[in-house]
Amino acid sequence: MSLLFSPFRLGGLELPNRLVVPPMCQYRAIEGSAQPWHLVQIGSLALSGAGLVIMEATAVEDIGRITHHCLSLYNDAHEAALTDLVAKLRTVAPRCAFGIQLAHAGRKASRDRHWNKRLQIPVNEGGWETVGPSPIAFGAGWAPPRALDEAGLARVREAFVDAAKRADRCGFDHIEIHAAHGYLLSAFLSPIANERTDRYGASREGRMRFPLEVFTAIREVWPTTKAFGVRINATEFDERGTQIEDAVVLARELDKIGVDYVALSAGNAVPGRPHPPLVRGYQVGYSEQVRKESGAVTMAVGMILDAFQAEEILASGKADLIAIGRAFLDNPRWGWHAANLLGAPDVYPKPHVSARPELWPGYAMLHPDYAASRS
Ligand SMILES: Cc1cc2nc3c(=O)[nH]c(=O)nc-3n(C[C@H](O)[C@H](O)[C@H](O)COP(=O)(O)O)c2cc1C
């Protein structure tokens, strides 16, 4: 029996399996609202066999967008577009759960889409003033953010809560809060970006305070019948930044306030920082350590490429959930092929069953790894 394709209870949500499509920014929204692109993109991934598909980082206020093209959830038009999208997705993929990542880009906001090589867009060229824990620029070519005061902190906290309520009304089964990759909540956690001397800085406890206030406030409004996770950085790959020990402490706090899982990512918090080689499963060890030392439910992500690797991660207790990003962009049918290799029950949508290996001899010819696994 495959673990990857076994049902899993995440918070109050019964997932059909442990295979997850993680959030991936598309920069295809118009004025923050979802477009046909999102229906096609998420729809195709929802037919992949994954049990949970998480929509991209979605801004909780206008200055929290990364770019002008980011999906957003802070007004009625955004909510209406996503409500319509979720309803349509359910008719396409009734077995799949749908989630959304709520985010605030903080000092990394007001930038161009990454495929245009420009970095931050200045205010006088159509950008906006960004906010952060302290007035420290992300790096060369980036403007220093305005440090959030008490009123600003309250506004951002409320924006996350409002977006969570909207996500619930949209019909999402799950939310994940983005507290990784140097964006606002991650910047609060980081000694590199947070030099505050008030109760929201100065020590690990102080730096965790604002993000934990946000998560606690969301927990109060997000239904316990659904799932609620947080994505954090296991390390910032910088000796001055957060380390795996900080992630373990944070994961324990998240567990205490009733967050259902922690997704372990890393980096993107300091520009130009050498990144460790992107070898297979390069972040899985973080998930393993945090899971063992905090007791939290974890999601592993990062260069998990094939079915047997995913199965081994679960079997050896390194994670509870497996998120596959670029391998799903490469092959949106990744889940079908993984299920075939692992001998798991059918995950094909009914209209596509004629492409199953039992019914179509071409399958084994096209997929020698499958043929080899059967011989
Ligand atoms: C196109 C693209 C967009 C991404 N956008 C997000 C995002 O919105 N939020 C986030 O937390 N991570 C984002 N990521 C990171 C992925 O969720 C994932 O952690 C990363 O790609 C590593 O997993 P992989 O090796 O399976 O792709 C993005 C990655 C890609 C490739």
Mutate to test the pocket of ligand 1, among 24, 65, 113, 231 (most ligand atoms within 8 A of CB): 24
Report residue 159's pLDDT band, with 50, 70 and 90 as the boundaries. very high
Structure confidence by residue, pLDDT tens digits, 112-131: 998 887 789 999 999 999 99
- Two tokens at 26? 């598309």
37-60 mean pLDDT? 97
% residues pLDDT > 70 (the chain) = 100
Mean pLDDT, the chain, as a whole number? Answer: 97
Residue nearest to atom 4 of ligand 1 (CA): 24
Can you list the domains of the chain with their CATH numbers? 8-344 (3.20.20.70), 349-375 (no CATH)
Does pLDDT of 17 surpass 90?
A: yes
Tell me what pLDDT residue 287 has: 98
Tell me what pLDDT residue 357 has: 96
24-49 mean pLDDT? 97
Instruction: State the greatest distance between any 2 C-alpha atoms of the chain, in Å, as a whole number.
Output: 67
Does pLDDT of 231 surpass 80?
A: yes
Report residue 277's pLDDT band, with 50, 70 and 90 as the boundaries. confident
Structure confidence by residue, pLDDT tens digits, 254-272: 999 999 999 999 999 998 8
Tell me what pLDDT residue 56 has: 98
For residue 1, the number of C-alpha atoms closer than 13 Å in the C-beta half-sphere is 4
335 lines ligand 1 (CB under 6 A): no
Does pLDDT of 316 surpass 80?
A: yes
Measured CA to CA, the distance from residue 375 to residue 364 in angstroms comes to 11
% residues pLDDT > 90 (the chain) = 95
**Which residues are known to be catalytic?**
183
Ligand 1 centre distance from Cα of residue 25 (Å): 7
pTM of the model: 0.98
Least confident of 84-98, 266-280, 335-349: 266-280
**Do the beta carbons of residue 37 and residue 198 sit within 8 Å?**
no
Does pLDDT of 82 surpass 80?
A: yes
Tell me what pLDDT residue 138 has: 96
Tell me what pLDDT residue 116 has: 87
Does pLDDT of 273 surpass 80?
A: no
For the CA of 303, the closest atom of ligand 1 is 25
Tell me what pLDDT residue 118 has: 75
Tell me what pLDDT residue 65 has: 98
Tell me what pLDDT residue 241 has: 96
313: Cβ–Cβ under 8 A, 6 or more apart, which residues?
Answer: 281, 284, 287, 300, 304, 319, 322
Residue nearest to atom 3 of ligand 1 (CA): 24
Tell me what pLDDT residue 352 has: 96
Tell me what pLDDT residue 190 has: 98
160-174 mean pLDDT? 98
25 lines ligand 1 (CB under 6 A): yes
Report residue 354's pLDDT band, with 50, 70 and 90 as the boundaries. very high
